[in-house]
Amino acid sequence: MNAATNTDAPSPGSILAVAAAGPLLVLVAFTLPLTTLMSTAGALGVGPGIQAWIMSGMSVGAAAGLLSSGAIGDDYGRRRVFVGGALLLAIASILGALAPTALVLVIARVLGGLGGAAILACGLGLIGHTFPSGAPRARATGVWAAALGAGVAIGPLLSAGLDHLGGWRLPYVFTALAATALAGTARRVLPESRAPVPRRIDLAGTLLLGGGIAALLSALVEGRMGWDRPLVVALLVLGLVLLAGFVAVERRIEGPMLDIALFRCPDFLGATTAAFAAGAGVLSLVSSLPMLLERALGTSTLLSALMLLAWSATSVVTAFGVRWLPTGVTPRTQLIAGLLGSAAGQLGLIGLSLDGTLTRLLPALLIAGAAYGVLNAALGRQAVASVPAGRTAMGSGANNTARYLGSAAGLALVTVLVTHAGPGSGPAGLLAGWNVAVLVTAGFSLLGALVVFFAHERSAPETVPARENTPPGSA
């Protein structure tokens, strides 16, 4: 049953405000190393290998914990897991601020990713529970998606400013304080909700999925320093074996964490594919742009962050504006349009040269940002609309897991292509490799659009599950 522990029922607006503040803070924490990595590496004396882990540690933790935390939130309380995630993010940020070594900092980033996973999955799950399907849910998920973009827009600039004021540790202090405030506010404002028929924790599925994804993403991080090393091969094999075990377990047990039959649902298949394509496509490419500008063109950290802002700020505006689209523009259409628009923007980033100007990138970044905002809003809506009643947090966790898996794979691929695909070495070689990376990641976006388009034709419509439209606090 659904329970509300607050005496006075909170308004939907206050629930939305807190649930959307979660992804904003999580993305601020995710993007923190984009503008502090060089100062962090200098202070701790670390090389490229550990730098890759500092950049990717939070993604590893988030991807490993998203689906599990969403499923646990559905069964044992979405608010409870949301608050716990915020507290874990606060603790991890304190550990990061006090980290005496790079290893401790990496552990802090992984733990922060686990906390962020709970916030992302259960925040969107609470929105799906609170707002009925149709226009109210479309508006609410648009706000949630805009908060994602706002975190990417604010994070690099905020961390750069705090780094300048007090060193690389200060942004972690800020994140710890903000996460603590979020936990307290969520405890007071959010109503508790859970599935009408809670299930037992799928312990085997949780361990197999978390371990498999962690091993697979660790292989992708380590692979940036060489794919033929025994450690990379071992991690890849381990990850694939554990994930295969997860699929086998989920097919056989009663009340699985993830019903594999959901992939026969066109909405679920389309949303999951689009999330992976978004991560492997536009997200991984644009996230790599600041580092390319700094290393190949000598652009300052602040200017690189401002270039990223052109993309992320535009995505905020369009994600928020999706609410005004005609009702005939379905979420599936938005997914396809968002992926195609992202591909167009990505292709506009090809052809960088040593004597070119940064302003030529702006039109492409604005196009990609506008398309990504539409895509984000549709993904948020479909993540909770494409799963059975009472499984909204699990739907959010599955969708965001696909996005982070795609992003991790895309970032590893972009890194390899930028550093090895171009002829020669130095800035000219990096730019030549970047052009190859643009084509490959644009291909992911286009392929994702094709899969979403054909999923509707190849899937049986009767497999679409029921929706959850129960108002907050109801029995």
| Residue pLDDT, tens place only, 315-363 | 999 998 988 888 889 999 999 999 999 999 999 999 888 877 788 899 9
Position 327 scores a pLDDT of 81
Answer whether residue 404 shows pLDDT above 50: yes
Is residue 342 included in any domain, yes or no?
yes
What is the count of structural domains for the chain?
2
- The dihedral over CA atoms of 446, 140, 180, 71, expressed in degrees to the nearest 10, equals -70
**What integer pLDDT is reported at residue 421 of this predicted model?**
59
- Are residue 224 and residue 193 in the same domain, yes or no? no
pTM of the model: 0.85
Q: Which residues of 406-422 are buried (b: 16+ CB within 10 A; e: fewer)?
A: bbbbbbbbbbbbbbebb
Q: What is the mean pLDDT of the chain?
A: 87
Least confident of 22-36, 269-283, 305-319, 416-430: 416-430
Residue 440 lies in a domain: yes
Angle (deg, nearest 10), helices 48-76 and 78-98: 160
With CA atoms as reference, report the closest residue to 323 among 392, 386, 373, 269.
373
Mean pLDDT (whole number) for 159-172: 93
Same domain, 295 and 233: no
Residue 1 lies in a domain: no
Lowest mean pLDDT: which of 184-193, 329-338, 377-386, 435-444? Answer: 377-386
Q: pLDDT band for 461, please (50, 70, 90 cuts).
A: very low
Residues contacting 184, CB < 8 A, separation 6+:
none
Residue 473 included in any domain? no
Give the mean model confidence (pLDDT) for residues 19-34: 94
Q: Domain of 238?
A: 203-254
Domain edge (last residue) among 254, 275, 296: 254
Residues 342 and 446 reside in one and the same domain = yes
What's phi and psi for 298, nearest 5 deg?
Answer: 70, 25
Same domain (yes/no): 101, 207:
no
My answer on whether 304 and 382 are in the same domain is yes
Please state which of the ranges 42-51, 268-277, 411-420 shows the lowest mean pLDDT.
411-420
pLDDT digits (tens, 9 = 90+) for 107-119: 999 999 999 999 9
pLDDT band at 423 (very low <50, low <70, confident <90, very high): low
pLDDT of residue 189: 95
Same structural domain, 66 and 140: yes
Instruction: Give the integer Cα–Cα distance in Å for 398 and 452.
Output: 16
pLDDT, average across residues 153-180: 94
What's the average model confidence in pLDDT over 358-387? 92
Regarding whether 353 and 451 lie in a shared domain, the answer is yes
Report for 6-15, 230-239, 249-258, 288-297: range of highest mean pLDDT: 230-239
Indicate if the pLDDT at residue 474 is higher than 50: no
Query: 247 and 259 share a domain?
Result: no
In a domain, 7, yes or no: no
Residue 87 lies in a domain: yes
**Could you tell me how many residues make up the chain?**
475
Q: Do residues 222 and 328 share a domain?
A: no
User: Smallest Cα–Cα separation from 364: which of 280, 305, 285?
Assistant: 285
Q: Is residue 471 part of a domain?
A: no
Report if residue 3 sits inside a domain.
no
Tell me which residue of 326, 43, 270 sits closest to 172, measured CA to CA: 43
* Same-domain pairing of 61 and 135: yes
CATH of the domain at 365: 1.20.1250.20
pLDDT, residue 416, reads 82
Decide if pLDDT at 91 tops 50.
Answer: yes
- Judge if 351 and 220 occupy the same domain: no
Owner of token pair 């390319």: 292
Q: State whether 310 and 286 are in the same domain.
A: yes
For residue 468, give both structure tokens: 């959850």
Among 254, 274, 295, the domain boundary falls at 254
